[in-house]
Structure 1
């Protein structure tokens, strides 16, 4: 005999668990809202990325209008988990929503350690976590990867060989490189546990630094990456693409150029003219788009707009003026990846409209043509006489017979 009371309790308990699970999924995941851009006859659409810095209205629409195909957003652990165990992804959610609304592909930069997980007074963008917080960190990484299942390209840290180093100054040490390798490995494993197809890149090097690469590769966990990133700045010429080739030789992995650009502000050692910047850009991009650099999967112009202070590097200046290299960037990008045609407000139907037939003109008959055959003749006389007889009319044309008056007069005039 069935115990229906027990079965009901089990069903109720399972229902509660199921509801909780569904609620958890709703809270921690967002739907896939965008697909990667594809370009006709060009296999590297991410070569036309633009970093979203500067005080520009409608930032992501402006990136797309400039021909940008890709942008990079930041996942700041120090901002998402300010209080341990409490996540707030609102800022990144909003950025992703706006970027994907414009059809942009998105790369994510992971950086920043919250105060409760770091040691000392280093700023969040330099301080790596204390190792005792590895579980907290990897839980955060997995939560982000689960929340954004459609994001598959991540970069860990920024210029960790330079001013993003945990060494305490703008430069790395053996210890800082080894510590970076430890957390690179932690990030790699956490992401792969969620989605094995995710690509993780080493943070962008502040220009080529073979010493750092050697220290990284010789440290435990130092080869836990899929891509290597670099910022091959050359302030007074085209990009240092020789160093990009060298990095590819050392890493034997694809390369992302996650920052490049020039300073056209005045008065600095790095300053150049806007005309020079435009020329250096065209020289650089013409090589990058060639098969010579097939291994460079992505490149990000740094940046869309000028920073609030020097250097002045934007495609658009602080007053909203488009610099000469803006049009150059757009022409090259849209040559390979055309911007979509705007959707008309009232699109025309492909069907031909049904023609409206022209009505035949209403004929105008002359007086006396009572049978309306186009002429006044004996037939009209007979027709009118018959009508008179039907209603008892006489030739005095008294109402109600006066409606035939004009016709009778015409017939009498012509035939009688």
Structure 2
């Protein structure tokens, strides 16, 4: 249906693997990335403006399929489209399962998730984005009970889950890479956490090498500078990743690269981690020092991902962010830009290198055919889906479509609609209402298509907002649960 326009994905992954393999001879080839908390039209240009070429993003299962069989695809679809538009390689993490997918019984000695359901989930995601995602990370920090549904960390059980994830990815999109879960750096050895080095050794002992292409690594500085020697401070420093590499070599897996999928320092430690807190200036200096040390000393690292971009309210992770909660760049953001510029990477506002999903060169899918949006204030039975964003009332939907050059003349915007009752429900393009209201229903409870003409000068290069709004019911017919009209939309396409 679409393709990555930064590089064709098969070529992009080939280049990545060749780059990793040739790094032994050339230490200047790591890729650089940013981990986003939300990948959208606000954050992705900020990622690209640093000069990095990769974005890592969690696709939380419990957000996409909170109710079994009912998917909310729009945020994920827009993340993939935005990464393509800005020429960013996309790495997706697949975990955070909903309660209905828990293993039953939930008990020690087995993965916390129903593996049949996890297999289906991974295949569904990978199939949807086949050829558009560079790599998938299978789970996150399974050496912590907090990330393992409260169960004691269990390397053998994680390998069982990793095997399922690996096969699901490779059988669905053979060109996509599989990355093992980054492990939390810790010296703890009890039911709440297991030393990441012991966990990795046990993973290899249980056959994990056959089920990942790249070793995922979490590399944190713990308040210490990036040149802190290996083994100093009980090994809680950046150089700890050398211990993981040594384990890879000991188990004969040295041909594979390691990807740092999280790395950073916090400027805001909590009560238990106040000792890790650094100043904003130190955060910036340590980040640049870490990038340089990795490039110079550890050629087996193929990707360095900074945790995290930030720019939103995140009390748990905001101290690591390169942007303050109001979106203001911290010194570390500027330092990353400066380092990328010194490495010859393009920084500043990028020249877009891709486009959102297209059905043809002039046809853009804004909302997928299977992504149904229900606006209103009245939960209804099938064929109605739950209210949009689980909000009641839910009177507004917005979608994003990325364009290069709208050109001249007119575009067409087509929506499929179910049951619009009032003549004041409207479609908006970049804040401007289209002259014709959404047509009234025919009372058949069927989907009907309607097309509007959109002047090209209403559109702009980059992200464009399409919005649908519904209005209050007339006072004479308002009743509990019927303060607004109700409408469903899907399959929104901008074309010409």
TM-score by length of 1: 0.65
Q: What is the aligned-residue RMSD (CA, Å)?
A: 3.5
Which of 272, 276, 298 is matched with 2:278 structurally? Answer: 272
Find the residue that maps to 2:125 and give its secondary structure.
helix
Q: Structure 1 or 2: larger helix share?
A: 1
Which of 94, 106, 123 is matched with 2:90 structurally? Answer: 106
What are the superposed Cα offsets for residues 37-58 of structure 1, whole Å, 9 maximum, x if unpaired?
8999988776321111379981
Distance 2:332 2:348 in 1: 22
Provide the aligned length of Structure 1 versus Structure 2.
306
Residue in 1 aligned with 2:456? none
Residue in 1 aligned with 2:335? 328
Which structure would you say has the larger Rg? 1
Which of 303, 315, 323 is matched with 1:298 structurally? Answer: 303
Which of 252, 260, 263 is matched with 1:260 structurally? Answer: 263
Find the residue that maps to 2:320 and give its secondary structure.
coil
Do the aligned residues in 1 keep the contact of 2:27 with 2:295 (CA within 8 Å)?
A: no
Distance 1:32 1:319 in 2: 34
Q: Structure 1 or 2: larger strand share?
A: 2
User: Mind listing any 5+ residue stretches in structure 2 that lack a counterpart?
Assistant: 187-195, 227-236, 249-253, 352-403, 406-496
How do 1:127-276 and structure 2 match up within 5 A? 128-131=112-115, 134=116, 136-150=117-131, 151-166=133-148, 168=150, 172-173=152-153, 176-207=154-185, 209-219=196-206, 223-239=210-226, 240-251=237-248, 252=254, 253-265=256-268, 268-276=274-282
Distance 2:121 2:258 in 1: 26
Find the residue that maps to 1:49 and give its secondary structure.
strand
Q: CA deviation at 1:71?
A: 0.7
Distance 2:147 2:209 in 1: 15
What are the superposed Cα offsets for residues 154-185 of structure 1, whole Å, 9 maximum, x if unpaired?
1111111125442616xx54xx2222111100
Residues 45 and 81 (structure 1), Cα distance of their counterparts in 2 relative to 1, 3 Å cut:
farther
Distance 1:120 1:143 in 2: 22
User: Mind listing any 5+ residue stretches in structure 1 that lack a counterpart?
Assistant: 1-29, 347-416
Distance 1:121 1:56 in 2: 37
Distance 2:164 2:3 in 1: 26
Distance 2:127 2:150 in 1: 33
Residues 326 and 104 (structure 1), Cα distance of their counterparts in 2 relative to 1, 3 Å cut:
same
Do the aligned residues in 2 keep the contact of 1:184 with 1:222 (CA within 8 Å)?
A: no
Do the aligned residues in 1 keep the contact of 2:217 with 2:259 (CA within 8 Å)?
A: yes
Residue in 2 aligned with 1:361? none
Do the aligned residues in 2 keep the contact of 1:161 with 1:206 (CA within 8 Å)?
A: yes
Q: Which moved further from structure 2: 107-116 or 35-44?
A: 35-44
Residues 80 and 283 (structure 1), Cα distance of their counterparts in 2 relative to 1, 3 Å cut:
same
What are the superposed Cα offsets for residues 117-154 of structure 1, whole Å, 9 maximum, x if unpaired?
204799xxx973134xx2x3323222222221221311
Find the residue that maps to 2:150 and give its secondary structure.
coil
Residue in 2 aligned with 1:287? 293
Do the aligned residues in 2 keep the contact of 1:248 with 1:254 (CA within 8 Å)?
A: no
TM-score by length of 2: 0.55
What are the superposed Cα offsets for residues 245-273 of structure 1, whole Å, 9 maximum, x if unpaired?
22123223211111111111277222111
Distance 1:302 1:246 in 2: 21
Residue in 2 aligned with 1:319? 326
